[in-house]
Amino acid sequence: MKSIKLAVAICCVSVLTTAARAASEPPALAPFTQFIDAMNAGDAKKAASEFTASATIIDEFAPHIWNSFAGWNADLGKGLKADRVTDFHIALSPVSFKNVDAKTGYGVAPSTLTFKVKGKPTTEKGMFTFTTAKSAEGWRVTGWAWSTL
């Protein structure tokens, strides 16, 4: 019974933390956190919907730069499989710097990646720097870069 109560409490804290983050976040920054939430849920279709068609992505694995979410996600999947990476999760901290106006947004968010490489738990700390733009469809991610600390 204690295990069930603990599991429910953890679930509630997780939901409340996500809700609090969303409530304090300008709408211009929401697509990036929604992308992270979708990736953590394994929902690539939802993640892709948060991006403009030609979003620029810079990441630490080759070829290091992409001009679409689809290209980056395809290479990510290949790399994770080749390196036997499992249980990938992104813990996005609150945005530490932001600059938002009526048409564009910019944010920097410290983050922690946790995953297993060949079964061995691994942690990587870094920063996401991202940009968004408002379109007829709403706010969308126009680009992001990952920097390992």
Q: What pLDDT sits at residue 25?
A: 84
Please return the burial class of 128, using the count of CB atoms within 10 Å of its CB with bins 0-12, 13-18 and 19+: buried
* C-alpha span between 74 and 69 (Å, rounded): 8
The yes/no answer on whether domain 27-148 falls in CATH 3.10.450.50 is: yes
* Residue ranges covered by each domain of the chain: 27-148
DSSP category for residue 27: G
Q: What is this structure's pTM? A: 0.83
Q: What pLDDT sits at residue 23?
A: 57
Q: To which H or E segment does residue 90 belong?
A: strand 85-92
Q: What pLDDT sits at residue 13?
A: 41
Q: What pLDDT sits at residue 63?
A: 97
Phi-psi region of 127 (alpha: psi -120 to 50; beta: other; left: phi over 0): beta
Give per-10-residue mean pLDDT for the chain (149 aa): 42 43 80 98 97 97 97 97 97 97 98 98 98 96 98
Q: To which H or E segment does residue 36 belong?
A: helix 30-40
